[in-house]
Amino acid sequence: MKILLTNDDGVFAPGIITLSSFLSSSGHECTVVAPDRERSSVGHAITLHRPLRMWRVPAGPYTADCNVYACDGTPSDCVVLALEEPIPSPAMVVSGINRGPNLGDDLTYSGTVSAAMEGVILGCSSMAVSLNCSEKEPEHYYETAASVAVSLLDFLRDSPQAPGVLLNVNVPNLPLHLVKGVRITRKGVRLYEGKVTRLKDPSGRDYFWVSGRPEDQLVEGSDVWAVANGFVSVTPVHMDMTHFPSIETLTSGGAEKINFK
């Protein structure tokens, strides 16, 4: 398969390098177009008010058969530019492997998932892949996530997804033989405790850190539940965020008949 590979951790992050090497050695033809720096949690931003640059980078840590480009835009910018020139009609857009999970309500903050969303919007089959690792863990099993991604691509070649649907894949941070299997899941609920921390700068003025500790609702069948139980979570995600039952309740409740003041 001709694959466009991108991410939000930057073109020289370990996840994308590992994935590209696994894809190449499985016979896929890989073109990397990825941000020139860390762009995690930029969401689906597109750059409209300054010029964008994209340049070829020496393969370096990549295998020699891989075409690698860096771009000074967001992950979604990378997909837009890549589909314009170096790889106009990929069989698949793959975003990742992200350093850290993209579970529950992480979805719309995530540059990784947003790049896959951009792929879907532009008519490509797309997949986002994230490793459920944290900075505190000594080992990051990117090879596990890369094996899972290659196996899923084999599956998708024979069973393509419906247009407009991307797969959000989260892989437990474990050696491959300890992963229990795959669960097809729904988006779960992940809230952040202590999201804002207020501190003082040396002049005594307040400043703020937005971060927080994730608190998951471990409902069976959700993405957070699957990964917490050692399974690969595969969530089909579509771009239509409409809540259809509310169309009925708002309409029958008279929302179309309100009088403007």
Of the residues 98, 114, 168, 185, which one makes contact with Mn ion according to CB under 5 A:
98
Binding to Mn ion in span 187-226, by CB under 5 A? none
* Inter-axis angle of helices 111-121 and 75-84, nearest 10: 30
Please give the size of the binding site for Mn ion, defined by CB under 5 A: 4
Show the tokens assigned to 38: 């860390």
Contacts of 138 by beta carbon, 8 Å cutoff, 6+ apart: none
What minimum distance in Å lies between the beta carbon of 233 and Mn ion?
Answer: 17
Task: State which residue, 40 or 185, has the beta carbon closest to Mn ion.
Answer: 40
Q: How far is Cα 98 from Cα 129, in angstroms, rounded to an integer?
A: 6
> Segment near Mn ion (CB under 5 A), from 25-33, 53-61, 93-101, 133-141?
93-101
What minimum distance in Å lies between the beta carbon of 238 and Mn ion?
Answer: 22
Binding mask 9-38 for Mn ion (x = CB under 5 A): x-----------------------------
Task: State which residue, 90 or 96, has the beta carbon closest to Mn ion.
Answer: 96
Task: State which residue, 34 or 54, has the beta carbon closest to Mn ion.
Answer: 34
Task: State which residue, 6 or 98, has the beta carbon closest to Mn ion.
Answer: 98
Task: State which residue, 162 or 210, has the beta carbon closest to Mn ion.
Answer: 210
Residue 136: count other Cβ atoms within 10 Å of its Cβ.
5
- Residue 178 carries which DSSP code? G
Element at 128 (helix H, strand E): strand 126-132
Question: How crowded is the C-beta side of 53, counted as CA atoms within 13 Å?
Answer: 6
Q: Interface with Mn ion includes 40 (CB under 5 A)?
A: yes
Element at 232 (helix H, strand E): strand 232-238
Task: State which residue, 12 or 29, has the beta carbon closest to Mn ion.
Answer: 12
Alpha helices in the chain (DSSP H): 14-25, 75-84, 111-121, 142-158, 223-228, 244-252
What minimum distance in Å lies between the beta carbon of 10 and Mn ion?
Answer: 9
Chain residue at closest Cβ approach to Mn ion: 40
Q: How far is Cα 95 from Cα 5, in angstroms, rounded to an integer?
A: 6
Residues that bind Mn ion (CB under 5 A): 8-9, 40, 98
